[in-house]
Amino acid sequence: MQRLIPVLNSDHVPLHLISVINTLLTAAKEISHRLHQGSLAGTLGSTLDANIQGEVQKKLDVVSNQLIKNMLLETGLVHAVASEEEDDVVMGNPDAKYLVAYDPLDGSSNIDINGAVGTIFTILEKPDHPAEGTELFLQTGDEQLAAGYILYGPSTLLVMTTGRGVRVFTLDHTVGEFLLTVDKITIPQDTQEFGINMSNQRFWLPPMQQYIADLLAGSTGPRKKDFNMRWNAAMVSDVHRILTRSGIFSYPMDYKDPKKPCKLRLLYEAMPMSFLMEQAGGRSSTGYERIMSIQPTHIHQRVSVIMGSRNEVDTCLGYFKQHPCTRPDSI
């Protein structure tokens, strides 16, 4: 099996970019170790603090964020980082050209129940035009150099793209290296699985309510086939299921909390996952526009997300086309 660096070399990925990716994986190995130690590592449970999102932080949220941030900035190859757990951008080497945005531990509410969690990341290049702080990261998804996630499950997996398809690497703990285990992922265009947080159903926009109602009606409804629902409460594992065997995943806009109509963050959740989806032959949208084309306005900006098997996403988007008047100004 091939190791990560030779694979990236064969794709002519720049050496400094490979070093940044390798640094992320060094941090991921340590996070993986602490997760698999569980209570033995003394890092389970919550802190008394909330992050910029207003979410109570798990101890491992804080530890994971600090590990990734420190390791990246110590390389001297990173100009700035942006994290779900940081209020603002953290500056690094002023002469470096790479920008890294990440969610250090997606699905961290699963930690204490021994459920799947992961790290999501995207790597951008410092823009040519003058920019400082937050402005550095206000780039569209099409400008990503690399993106992916590390899934900490029964095995630790790296799923990544540099714009040349999607590959899967598995951490071999005996040698401490990520080894290539799937050379190219292609998502089937059709599916009979969907993932969504049904507890928010009554707060969704009408087109999403109708779409899900038709899926639930199964073979007796307009879709004329039965669907299974899968929901892991961690974007990394829900998206990984789609990349592995097809499906549609959505965290749509809802009116449960008018101050936060959308759950997922554009820069370090929706954008990198959309890059992977499109590279694997899938599709990703807010319901009204392609996520990869959105011009960010803030590093913690939130968006509605619908992604997965191309034909099923297209079917879902058809419901939104039938209700154009429901489009919110914020999406």
Rounded CA gap, 71 and 91, in Å? 13
Q: How many CA atoms does the CB half-sphere of 114 hold within 13 Å?
A: 5
Give which of 90, 156, 89 is closest to 117, Cα–Cα: 156
Angle between helix axes 206-217 and 310-321 (nearest 10 degrees) is: 130
Are 122 and 102 in contact, with CB atoms under 8 Å apart? yes
Give the amino acid at 217. Answer: A
Give which of 144, 155, 80 is closest to 284, Cα–Cα: 144
Sign of CA dihedral 139, 142, 143, 144: positive
Give which of 18, 23, 26 is closest to 75, Cα–Cα: 23
User: Which residues are known binding-site members for substrate?
Assistant: 106-109, 197, 263
User: Which residues are known binding-site members?
Assistant: 84, 103, 105-109, 197, 263, 269
Give which of 103, 102, 140 is closest to 122, Cα–Cα: 102
User: Which residues are known binding-site members for Mg(2+)?
Assistant: 84, 103, 105-106, 269
Rounded CA gap, 317 and 312, in Å? 9
Tokens of 7: 């694979």
Are 262 and 331 in contact, with CB atoms under 8 Å apart? yes
Tokens of 257: 């909390």
- The DSSP code sequence of 5-34 is HHHHHHTT--HHHHHHHHHHHHHHHHHHHH
Other CB atoms closer than 10 Å to residue 177's CB: what's the count?
16
